[in-house]
Amino acid sequence: MLSSLLTAFNFLTILPLPWRDTSQQSLGQAVGWFPLVGLAIGVVLAGLDWGLSQFLPSGVTAVLVMIAWLLASGAIHFDGFLDSCDGLFGGKTPVQRLEIMRDHRVGAFAVAGGGLLLLLRYSALTGLPLRTIPLLLALALSRWAMSLAIVFFPYARKQGLGRAMKDHARWPQALQATLIALVAAWFIGGVSGLMAMVTAGVVMILAALFIRTRIPGLTGDSYGAINELVEAAVLVFFTTLFWR
């Protein structure tokens, strides 16, 4: 259990942990801990947001939090989102789309998609009078959505890190991730937290189904894209609660 938890932190964050278990079984079991890792990142970002807001304007604080947000994971999910934008919208056939997604060069669709995503996140953050709960749940529920996408949707490639994770993540990991996310959603956000969890699940399913219309299954980039979309969706959901 400790091994898979540390593996999850190693995989999803830039923390310099001494633990290095890259076995396929450990990677698969780590999927069950993804929401907890997201929640831990959310705690750090919420604390940073609170501290910076004591002496900086809301907009400046939001930008600095977004920078820390990207740095916390080494921008791995954002990179997957960019690659997915280029591949899913730039290729004419599934084979071409997969090849484009493997190419780390940034194209027009990546620039447009990434810019719009960051703008949406910034707008949502600045539109929230209180950002602690939205930050905590956006990070936790996005990692939960990623866990379910890994377990329940087919993988498009025969090899790769995502393939190893997919092959060793099963329903116990999905159940563990769901329980962690459910407890976090209820105790942090109450009814609103549960509604945010439903929102995250719907966005994950719609995104995964769309991806499958473009390529045979999901990839590691797809998981990152789903994570980014769910983060933004949860933030937007909470802005609807405060908007008048």
Question: Among 221, 217, 207, 222, which residue's Cα sits nearest to residue 94?
Answer: 217
C-alpha to C-alpha distances, 7 to 40, 74, 128, 165, nearest whole angstrom: 14, 15, 33, 12
* DSSP element (H, E) containing 56: none
- Give the span between the Cα atoms of 146 and 148, in whole angstroms: 5
Q: What is the mean pLDDT of residues 16-29?
A: 74
Beta partners for residue 65, in sequence order: none
Distance CA 60, CA 49 (A): 10
User: Max alpha carbon distance in the chain (Å)?
Assistant: 51
User: For the chain, what is the radius of gyration of the CA atoms?
Assistant: 17
Number of domains into which the chain is organized: 1
- pLDDT band (50, 70, 90) for residue 162: confident
**Residues 184-218 pLDDT 10s:** 999 999 999 999 999 999 999 999 999 999 999 99
pLDDT in the model for residue 165: 82
Name the residue range of residue 171's domain.
Answer: 2-242
The residues with which 155 forms a beta bridge, in sequence order, are: 218
